[in-house]
Chains A and B, each alone.
Chain A
Amino acid sequence: MSDLEQFRAETRTWLEANCPPSMRTPPNDEETCWGGRNAVYKNPETKLWLDRMASRGWTAPAWPKEYGGGGLDKAQNQVLMQELGRIRARSPLSSFGIWMLGPALLEFASEQQKRHYLPQIVRGEIRWCQGYSEPGAGSDLAGLQTKAEDMGDHYLVNGSKIWTSYGNYADWIFCLVRTDAKAPKHKGISFLLFDMAAPGASTRPIKLISGASVFTQTFFENVKVPKDQLVGTLNDGWTIAKALLQHERNMIGGMGGANIPGGSGQRSPSTAAKRYSGEIDGRIADPVLRLDIAKHNMNSRAFGVTGQRMTDELKAGAPPGPASSMFKYYGTEQNKRKYELLLQAMGTQALGWEGGEFQEHELAITREWLRTKGNSIERGTSEVQLNIIAKNVLRLPD
């Protein structure tokens, strides 16, 4: 038996013994495990599953063992994912610490910081949020004004962040702050970590057009931050910020590519069109809508094939291409179009706001449609992505 087969056998046995039965069922949104100091576990098996996976470092399987990770190589990591998929196991931990902060710390943090922060992330002890955008710095992120003044033994942070996902639930924040007001805007930014429970830090939820409020605005009034909570070099935080954004876009690109081709089930425009607008001989009755849906589905398929081509090119040893901005742009625009088509197909049944006259999935689609409008705004607008392609790929002049 090869080492990898051995690993698979051991993994399978361990998962069979340790994945609780309720963790092998599809989760709803409320059951997502985000960890953190104030986490409430309605289902004790959620916590049990988190702790067991964390004990092996498998909440962050590819991170090095010395920082609490699983220390798995690519092939082992793939086996673990396959085995988790085989038993339909839930993700033990959803975490901006794992998805975003951790990779940046691995690349830029001091040894001491890595040993301190990374194991906490792996164990889900600290829930992190991201302090990037500001009311006055959206697409022009580098124009941020939240400042951290050097007070000798600490930094004093003043300002405000916006669009902080789950800021009201987060324990700590990784935050871009201005540390040199006189330098060119990209050269005076630093990357700080600090406790949201510190005196002077507060949050306010933001209600969106969809009625949901997953975002907050956060306020910092004379928040004291110890100096050893600066990551990387003072005034060189933009380098870390960019690396983190790139990582984030790759993650979103992947989601947009593989998981939402034409939409399936109740989110499939063609199925919805047949059901709500009628069909003739197995065809969507409205010929114009039918061709619009075909166009959308064909573009989604082309997008999926492109994701596969990029993966294959990387495997074949080609250097990473300009994929992330293209995927971010095209994937989010496609997702928006999908919901517009669902609205067209379902008519007023997809425009209900609440109440028993609508089915649950119909009401959900109304809210999801509104939510998709943010896809092409958050994490770099579509226009910003096009700028990046024009500059970095096509090399068009400034």
Chain B
Amino acid sequence: MALVLNEDQVLLKDAARAFIQDKSPIAGFRKLRDTNDASGFDRKLWKEMAALGWAGIIIPEEFGGSGFGYVGLGVVLEEAGRTLLASPLVSTALIGASAVLRGGNAVQKKEILPAIATGDWLLALALEEGPRHAPYAITTKAEKAGDGYTLNGKKTFVLDGHVADQLIVVARTSCKTGDRDGLTLFLVEPTTPGVKITRTIMADSRNAANIEFSGVKLAADAVLGGVDQGADILDPVLDRARIALSAEMLGCIRESFERTIEYLKTRQQFGVLIGSFQALKHRAAEMFCEIELSISVVLDALIAIDENRNDVPQMASLAKARLNDTFFLVSNEALQMHGGIGMTDEFDIGLFMKRARVAQASFGDTVFHRDRYASLEGY
């Protein structure tokens, strides 16, 4: 596929932009934050997004989805990034749906996927146990108990963990912490006795939670995918999460960059527009180049998933590392170039920087992905 959006994808992008700018401008995000909204997202809006086919955007039509694929999801997420839209797109439409699509048996798919597509169910992946992304450093334990399992352990930074209807828990069923083998994914209802969920308030005002599992009894059919073979589902799901999250980050980057360029053209100091200073021009032009490369990488990575290319892992690390770096650069420069007003809460530009750092830390920071890329490329 050529590295351009096709006609349907362009229409989707235009529709997504119009809808999101209208229904959920940054003011909407501020309202959720300032009212300490219990859900942390707009449930009514999520149902509308589901009605547009976005909750089931990667889900095939046979399970009630709209089957637009990852390029479609990326297009919507990019537009969502422009207004910092807080929604279950990442936790549920992306991660939850892709995990069930890859790991689910016929019964699980039939039960869960249509409920995701209608916007009725929210999912959350309970993976991390430490403050930095480490997908195999799992000590949460699921031990055989009769026909089922008993689950014990603690999870952190579970996106949308406090509102989820189903948790997907990564637990160790054999081998030792750090091993890729011996992981198993479990579907856990948050209301199960022994599950304790505590919402964490993050700098980007998005939803996350810490979750404790104490002697949680699980039936045998709670397993998603193969026992001890959870990484075979987890790895591709994480790659999809890295790539699609990169698309959201791209939207944030482009919006904050455009706002900054506009500011350089209107703000006067020393009797001239500050955009006439070469010290700022060159930094703006350098950002432009990094953003152009980021646009290419995100699109190619999304296409790689849809085309089932065998370089999806490389593209995922390439995209996430590049978007981490570019978002870091642009968010810092945007703030600096806005000067004092950028430091105020009233002004939006700081919101993008807070989102930047949380997004950077999600599913692997730059060092994680450079290391992984080098390994994948054989050095």
Contacts and interface: CB of A to CB of B under 8 A. Distances in A.
A393 B288 contact: yes
A387 B278 CA distance: 8
B295 interface: yes
Contact of B281 (A283, A308, A318, A396): A396
Contacts of B280: 396
A389 B3 contact: no
Interface in B295-341: 295-297, 299-300, 317-318, 321-322
Interface stretch (A23-31, A76-84, A287-295, A352-360): A287-295
Interface string B343-379: 0000000000000000000000001001101110111
B293 A383 contact: no
Contacts of A326: 288-289, 292
B261 interface: yes
A298 B319 CA distance: 9
B348 to A, nearest CB: 20
B288 A293 contact: no
B293 A396 contact: no
A383 B322 CA distance: 23
Contacts of A153: none
B282 A301 contact: no
A65 interface: no
B379 A273 contact: yes
B270 to A, nearest CB: 13
Contact of A390 (B272, B285, B322): B285
A330 B293 CA distance: 10
In this complex, the interface size class of chain A, counting residues with CB under 8 Å from chain B, is: 35 or more
B281 A302 contact: no
Interface string B2-32: 1110000000000000000000000000000
Nearest to B373: A294
B299 A386 contact: no
A396 B296 contact: no
Given A299-B293, A313-B4, A316-B4, A394 B284 contact: yes
Closest 6 CB pairs of A and B: A390-B281, A389-B285, A309-B3, A312-B2, A386-B285, A294-B374
Interface of A: 270-271, 273-274, 279, 282-284, 290-291, 293-295, 297-299, 301-303, 305-306, 308-309, 312-313, 315-316, 318, 326, 329-330, 383, 385-387, 389-390, 393-398
25 contacts: A279-B379, A283-B374, A291-B370, A294-B374, A297-B373, A298-B317, A298-B321, A298-B370, A299-B293, A301-B318, A302-B294, A302-B318, A303-B293, A309-B295, A312-B3, A326-B289, A330-B289, A330-B293, A383-B282, A386-B281, A387-B285, A390-B284, A394-B261, A394-B285, A397-B276
Interface of B: 2-4, 261, 264-265, 272-273, 275-276, 278, 280-282, 284-286, 288-289, 292-297, 299-300, 317-318, 321-322, 367, 370-371, 373-375, 377-379
